[in-house]
Amino acid sequence: MDIQIQKKRGIQKKHIGYMALAALLLVAGWKMVYGKSSGSFKTEMDRISIGEVVHGKFDDYITINGNVAPIMTIYMDAYVGGRVQEKLIEEGAAVKKGDVILKLENPNLYEQILASESNLALKQNDLRSTKLTFDSRRIDGQKSLATSAHELQRNKRKFEQNEELYKDELISKETYLTSKEDYILSKKQYEIVKLQTDQDEQLRRTSLSGLDTDLKRMKQALSMVYERIDQLNVRAPADGQLGFLDAEIGQNIAQGERIGQINVLTNYKIEASIDEHYIDRVKRNLTAILERNGKKYELRLRKVYPEVRNGNFKVDLVFIDEKPETIRTGQSYNIKLQLGESSEAILLPKGSHFQSTGGQWIFVVNNDTQEAEKRSIRIGKQNSQYYEVLDGLQAGEKVITSSYNSFEKADKIVLK
């Protein structure tokens, strides 16, 4: 009979070796994945930059780049369309208000003038004929009114005389009644003639007023056509410099088409773009400083444009007093725009470390400059040179300000 051998239960010696090997592999894998985040990193001193944290005055400004532009630009659009006949002034030339820059030609406008002049002449003839007709009727009406008034007066006198004679029984009743009826008839005829004369006069005033209005309107229309003819001469709208002129001889230009601009050079402004990060802090009337050849020029922020494009918004600045003598349109300047008052603060030099840390932590170098340890910090405002440190650093401490790309997951840097 075979004897059944029972298997041993529990952990045996051969299992311990397997477990130890698995644990060793697990630790090695963990170090490969996470070792850098909590371990140290060795680097040479000459491969990094070290800056010192200081206590000083923090100037709340940003540095922006701007381009010089004329204080005002006036665009020239074609009031009327036409073909370029003559070009009198070239781009870049100085112009005075009213100088003729271009001459256009448009035969259709001359046809409109002939038609308007013909219509005006016909309307003037109609007005003269109507006035003559009304004047003739007015004279006839006045004659009829005068005759009726004379007849009324004569019949009235005759009636009054016959009335006295009839009372004294010196004339017959028939004669008396006849004179009375003649008087009543004359009175009614006078009233009719007077009413007709008044109506004719009212009609005359109304008709002539309408004709005068039509004639005046036609004269205004003709005057506007004459103005359009004059607008074929494209003139400078103001004193300045002809910035650009998009027109050549023989070119057809449509009505309303942009053909040029006048740069008013009585003063200058600086156009600049600012990162949208500062849009809530940039307001009108902020001051700025421009340095040129060792001299400072003060500017005022005149306008903030509301639109944000490609992460930037535009502003215009103007000089408060002096401006550089050699200033020219298109020049580029670096400007310090003051956002707030200066204050005492702990200052951290700016560097490439911010791109990796976002200002949340930094490597602080020990006094013996042999090691640098990771430390959480909190920063506030910034300018072109410093960050304002709100917490985490003290004046006199040294920090690594160069890029952290190669060791940002380490907790400690060993400096060789």
Mean pLDDT of 55-69: 87
Residue (of 398, 364, 407) closest to 39 by Cα position = 407
Ordered DSSP codes for 141-210: HHHHHHHHHHHHHHHHHHHHHHHHHHHTT-S-HHHHHHHHHHHHHHHHHHHHHHHHHHHHHHHHHHHHHH
pLDDT at 14 over 70: no
Quickly count: other Cβ atoms within 10 Å of residue 207's Cβ: 15
pLDDT in tens, 305-353: 989 999 999 999 999 988 888 888 888 999 999 887 778 888 898 888 8
Sign (positive or negative) of CA dihedral 326, 327, 328, 330: positive
This prediction's pTM: 0.51
Answer yes or no: same fold for 35-59+343-415 and 61-68+263-338. no
Average pLDDT over residues 63-70: 90
Q: How confident is the model at residue 49 (pLDDT cuts 50, 70, 90)?
A: confident
Q: Is 199 exposed, middle or buried (0-12, 13-18, 19+ CB in 10 A)?
A: exposed
pLDDT tens string 170-228: 889 898 899 899 999 989 998 998 898 888 888 877 877 777 777 787 777 777 777 77
pLDDT at 18: 61
Q: Is the pLDDT of residue 72 over 90?
A: no
CATH fold of 78-104+234-258, please?
A: OB fold (Dihydrolipoamide Acetyltransferase, E2P) (2.40.50)
Rounded CA separation 161/151 (Å): 15
Contact criterion met (CB below 8 Å) for 70 and 264? yes
Locate the domains of the chain by residue range: 35-59+343-415, 61-68+263-338, 78-104+234-258, 108-230
For domain 61-68+263-338, give the CATH superfamily: Efflux pump adaptor protein, beta barrel domain (2.40.30.170)
- Once rounded to an integer, what is the mean pLDDT over residues 35-47? 68
pLDDT of residue 271: 93
User: The dihedral of CA 223, 228, 229, 235: what is its sign?
Assistant: positive
Structure-model confidence comparison of residues 240 and 205, the more confident one: 240
Q: Give residue 96's pLDDT.
A: 92
- The correct CATH number of 35-59+343-415 out of 2.40.37.10, 2.40.420.20, 2.60.120.10, 3.40.50.800 is 2.40.420.20
Q: How long is the chain?
A: 416
135 vs 54, higher pLDDT? 54
Q: Which amino acid is at 51?
A: G
In three-state secondary structure terms, 360 is coil
pLDDT at site 26: 67
% helix, strand, coil for the chain, step of 5 = 35, 35, 30
Could you give the C-alpha distances from 237 to 48, 71, 359, in angstroms and in order?
61, 15, 54
The better pLDDT of the pair 384, 271 is held by 271
What pLDDT, in 10s, does the model give residues 388-412?
Answer: 898 888 888 888 888 888 777 788 8
Q: HSE-up of 263 (CA within 13 Å, CB side)?
A: 19
16 burial (CB, 10 Å; 0-12 / 13-18 / 19+) is exposed
User: Residue 4: helix, strand or coil by DSSP?
Assistant: coil
Predicted confidence band of residue 33 (pLDDT cuts 50, 70, 90): very low
Confidence of residue 15 (pLDDT cuts 50, 70, 90): low
**Which pLDDT score is estimated for 37?**
43
Question: What are the Cα distances from residue 154, in Å, to 14, 149, 184?
Answer: 163, 9, 12
Give the pLDDT band (50/70/90) at residue 23.
low
- pLDDT for residue 11: 54
Q: Is the pLDDT of residue 272 over 60?
A: yes
Q: How confident is the model at residue 50 (pLDDT cuts 50, 70, 90)?
A: confident
* Residue 34: band (very low, low, confident or very high) from pLDDT cuts 50, 70, 90: very low
